[in-house]
Amino acid sequence: MKRLCAPQELAEGQSRGFEIEGRKLLAVRKDGQVYAYHNRCPHRGIPLEWLPDQFLDASASLIQCATHGALFLIDSGECVAGPCAGQALEALSCVEDAEGIWVQS
């Protein structure tokens, strides 16, 4: 497992980007639970964000691709609107303990 950050470094309702061994990842905390995905839009295979750590739509209830606006469910990565609707972000299994937030490497 690879450590992303300390638990308090990902607040409720926030998203963050990470680069672990050359792979771009993103994590979102929703209802206390952390979800992690590869930072790669299924539409064009490019990173989702234009601004650092900004992965959510205006309502902070969906993950959004900045390039063409695809929207993804936070808890499953499923694309529910946009050019890659029906596809999904690639999820990473993720655990959290007192030391940090960890993803499967």
**Contact residues for ligand FES, defined by CB under 6 A:** 41, 43-44, 46, 65, 67-68, 70, 82-84
Query: What is the nearest approach in angstroms of ligand FES to the Cβ of residue 77?
Result: 13
Q: Rank residues 47 and 100 by Cβ distance to ligand FES and give the closer one.
A: 47
- Using CA of residue 94, residue 60, residue 9, residue 87, what is the dihedral sign? positive
Contact 56, 44 (CB under 8 A): no
The letter for the amino acid at 46 is: I
Rg, the chain, Cα only: 13
**Shortest spacing between CB 45 and ligand FES, in angstroms:** 8
Q: How far apart are CB 81 and ligand FES at their closest, in Å?
A: 10
